[in-house]
Structure 1
Amino acid sequence: MDDLSRQRQLRLERDALAMDVPNCPACLHQMEPAEANGEYIWECHECGATRFP
């Protein structure tokens, strides 16, 4: 992982701690912050569902 990727990951983790982390509407697992097309989204790593904040 390069420095830029690591910085993005740390920022996503920091933002997740600062906000309420939603549960996936499909499977009820806790969603994780992710980035898609330059936008931040919530993504469920269990079922793959995504949602915008």
Structure 2
Amino acid sequence: MDDLERHRRLRLERDALLSTPNCPTCLQQMEPAEIDGVPVWRCPECGAERPA
């Protein structure tokens, strides 16, 4: 893997992290989930949910 490819991958990972919200209750990073076919963000720590 050359430097250009490595930087591209790092930028994609960084962008993915920046677009992931934090839980409003406990401030942990939320994870994408699906409830009854509807995409939501769910906190793995406290279980809080918010619309995606």
Q: TM-score range by the shorter chain?
A: 0.5 to 0.7
Runs of 4 or more consecutive aligned structure 1 residues displaced over 4 Å after TM superposition: none
Percentage of pairs with the same residue: 56
Q: What TM-score comes out, normalization by structure 1 length?
A: 0.64
Amino acid at match of 1:26: T
Question: Once the 2 structures are TM-superposed, how far is the Cα of residue 48 of structure 1 from its aligned partner?
Answer: 0.4
| Mapping of residues 11-22 of structure 1, within 5 Å | 17=16, 20-22=19-21
Unpaired stretches in structure 1, ≥5 consecutive residues: 1-16
Q: Distance in 2 between matches of 1:40 and 1:48?
A: 15
**Aligned twin of 1:51:** 50
Unpaired stretches in structure 2, ≥5 consecutive residues: 1-15
**Aligned twin of 1:33:** 32
Q: What TM-score comes out, normalization by structure 2 length?
A: 0.65
Query: Per the alignment, in what secondary structure is the counterpart of residue 41 of structure 1?
Result: strand
- Over aligned residues, Cα RMSD in angstroms? 1.8
